[in-house]
Amino acid sequence: MAGTLETALVQTLNGVQFGFILFMIASGLTVILGILDVLNLAHGELFSIGAYAGIGVFGFVIGVVGPPSGVLGGVVFVLAVLVSVLLTAALLLPVGTVFEALFLRAIYDRDQVYQLVLTFALLLILLDVKKFVWGNTSLRTDAVYSAINSIPTSELVGLNYPTYNVFVILVGIAVVAGLFWFFDRTKTGRIVRATAIDREMATAIGVSTDRVFTLVFALGAFLAGFAGAMAVPPTAATLGMGTNPLVLSFVVIVIGGLGSLRGAFVGALLVGVIRSWMITLYPPGEIAAPFAIMALILLVKPEGLFGTWGETA
């Protein structure tokens, strides 16, 4: 019985951990959709570039810090990993800025088909850029995962659970809190929300929508890069790794409400946990379960659980 409970708890934690990674990806996607009205098909590739670039940054920073030893060493190592993730995400800021200013800005007034074609073209370009820069083989960074797992955390409460996953959950909570704080409390965040609520009225009070759009797209790219760097240590960076998270992020934002940050949070945790449970209860249903939930939500509440973005973050 205890074993069953532990398995259920571990699977739930796995789901929550995956849900937070999914939220980091979906939040960028949904914010871009909510304010720019653009469905960015290249978002998964930004996530993927975050993973590839993250491996390089981890290698550099960990080379400087060295493996963790003792409590203080462990803390320093975790902080170094966090700094690496932030640096990786920061590398995506100019990428997002250039994409928005150079490509997307030209097609805002056009039919959404143009946006889909353009962002799909960007997806293909980024795929080739990855091949060019990192080659066809997958890349790994086992050092981060194993080093953080060597720091005992869950064992303290009698649970055998990877410390890296706990780290992802804690960072995920911080990201959620940070995003809600940004959009609910800061001046810039509220200006962005005002622009999402009524773009024209925002202009009439002096908002430069061009700047807001660039900021939002860069923020989306930052979040995708952040998620990529967080997600890569337990796995590997591969050329096709952007596809699944992109598709699942679509599911998440449809469940939560197109453009709703709150909805993306709830949707991501829902998809993450249910997918994780399915792995234990009925493995063949792992892929289908999120889509089944999405279909159900679309039938019962077509606008999604939380409606559109802006009025509430």
**Contacts with other proteins, residue ranges (CB under 8 A):** 187, 190-191, 193-194, 197-198, 200-209, 310-312
- Shortest Å distance, C-beta 273 to other proteins: 28
Q: Which is nearer to other proteins, 202 or 215 (CB)?
A: 202
Q: Which of residues 197 and 279 has its CB atom nearest to other proteins in the complex?
A: 197
C-alpha closest to that of 70 among 171, 150, 145:
150
Least Å from the CB of residue 116 to other proteins: 24
> DSSP state, 302?
T
> Residue 140: left (phi > 0), alpha (psi -120 to 50), or beta?
beta
Q: How far is the CB of 305 from other proteins (least distance, A)?
A: 16
Residue placing its CB nearer to other proteins in the complex, 187 or 299: 187
Residues in the chain: 313
Minimum gap (Å) between residue 261 Cβ and other proteins: 12
The two structure tokens encoding residue 14: 């796995």
Is 269 buried (19+), middle (13-18) or exposed (0-12) by CB count in 10 A?
A: buried
Closest distance of CB 213 from other proteins, Å: 12
Nearer CB in complex with other proteins: 28/310: 310
Question: How many whole angstroms separate alpha carbon 139 and alpha carbon 106?
Answer: 36
Q: Which of 150/209 has CB closer to other proteins?
A: 209
**Minimum CB distance to other proteins, residue 115 (Å):** 21
Give the phi and the psi of residue 210 in degrees, each rounded to 5.
Answer: -60, -45
Smaller CB separation from other proteins, 197 or 236: 197
Pick 128 or 311: Cβ nearer other proteins: 311
**For residue 118, what are its two tokens?**
């353009």
Q: Smallest gap, in angstroms, from Cβ of residue 236 to other proteins?
A: 42
Q: Is 155 or 184 the residue whose CB approaches other proteins more closely?
A: 184
Compute the chain's Rg from CA coordinates: 20
**Between the CA atoms of 99, 103, 106 and 112, what dihedral angle is there, to the nearest 10 degrees?**
-90
Q: How far is the CB of 36 from other proteins (least distance, A)?
A: 17
Q: Are 108 and 36 in contact (CB under 8 A)?
A: yes
Q: For other proteins, give the closer residue by CB, 97 or 209.
A: 209
**Closest distance of CB 29 from other proteins, Å:** 21
* Of 60, 40, 57, the residue nearest 91 (C-alpha): 57
Instruction: Kindly state the helix (H) or strand (E) to which residue 48 belongs, with its residue range.
Output: helix 43-65
Q: At what angle do helices 288-300 and 243-256 cross, to 10 degrees?
A: 20
Reduced 3-state DSSP string for 55-90: HHHHHHHHHHHCCCCHHHHHHHHHHHHHHHHHHHHH
DSSP for 110-138? Answer: S-HHHHHHHHHHHHHHHHHHHHHHH-SS-
